[in-house]
Structure 1
Amino acid sequence: MIDDQVPDSLPVRDDAPPVTGSDVGRILIGLLVLAFAGVTGLFAPLLVMASDGCNEGDARTICSAGAQQIVGNLPVGAAFVAAVLTVVGMSNRGNAGWMCLLAAPCLLAVSWVVSLAIVGA
C-alpha cells in the first residue's frame, strides 16, 4: 500500500542563528586570550627563579618564602580563572560575554604586574 500524501522530500528547517562578524571576532579574541592565559600559566611561575641569588641575610622581597609562593601560584591561578572567563565570554553573545573577555586579560596583566613587582623589589 503506497501513501500518495507523503511529500517527495521533507522540508529543510533552518533554525540555526546566522554566524555574524561579531561572533567570529569574539571567538578570535577568545583564542588570543586563551593563548595569553597558557603563556602566563606556563612561564610566569618561572619568575620564582629570581630567588636563586638570595643569601641568608638578603632583604629583597623575593627572598621570603611567602613572596615565592605568591610569585609561583598567582599566575597559575590567574591563568585558570582567565581561561574560564574566556570560555564563558566566547560562549555568551550578550554584554556579559564581552565583559568576561575584557576581564580575563586584565586579570592576567595584574598577575604579571604583581609577580614582576615582587621579583623586582
Structure 2
Amino acid sequence: MINDPAPAAPSVSDSAPPVTGSAAGRVVAGVLVLAFAAVTGLFAPFLVMASDGCNEGDARTICSVGAQQVVGNLPVIAAFAAALLAVVGMSSRGGAGRGCLLAAPGLLVVAWVASMAIAST
C-alpha cells in the first residue's frame, strides 16, 4: 500500500492548437471598432462647418470647395472601409484577422487627423 507506484500523469498532446486569442476577444474588438467607425461617419463630416467663417477671397485651405469636399467625404469613406475591415477581422482567424482589426482604427485616426488638419488651416 505504501509502496504502490504513483499514477502516471496524463500525456500532453503536441497537436493542441496554439492559444492566440479568443473569438470573444475578436468580437469585442470588432464591436469597438464598429462603434468608432459609426461615430466617425456620423460626426467627423461636421468639420466642414469650420468653413462658416470664410469670406470671399479667404486664402485658408478649408475655404476652398475641394477641401470642403475632402473634409466631408473622407471620414465617411474611412468609416465604411473600417467597418468592412472590422467585420473581416471578426470573422477570420490568424494574422489576417488581427491585421484587419489593427488597421481599422488606424484608418479612422488618419481620417480624423487629416480632416482636422484641413479644417484648422
TM-score (norm 2): 0.82
Once residues 105 and 57 of structure 1 are traced to their aligned partners in structure 2, the CA distance between those partners, rounded to angstroms, is 37
Q: In structure 1, what residue type is equivalent to 2:37?
A: A
CA distance in 2, matches of 1:57, 1:95: 51
Take 1:70 and 1:111, find their aligned partners in 2: how far apart are those partners? 10
Distance 1:39 1:106, change over 3 A: same
Identity value in percent: 75
| In structure 1, distance between residues paired with 2:56 and 2:114 | 24
SS in structure 1 of the partner of residue 59 of structure 2: coil
Structure 1 residues 1-47: Cα deviation after superposition (integer angstroms, max 9, x where no partner) = xxxxxxxxxxxxxxxxxxx9621111101000000000000000000
- Output the amino acid matched with 1:83: A
* Partner AA of 2:114 in structure 1: V
1:55 equivalenced with 2:35 (yes/no): no
Structure 1, unpaired ranges of 5+? 1-19
Q: Name the Cα RMSD after superposition.
A: 1.1
Match in the other structure for 2:91: 91
Can you give the 5+ residue segments of structure 2 that lack an aligned partner in the other structure?
1-19
Letter in 2 for 1:90: M
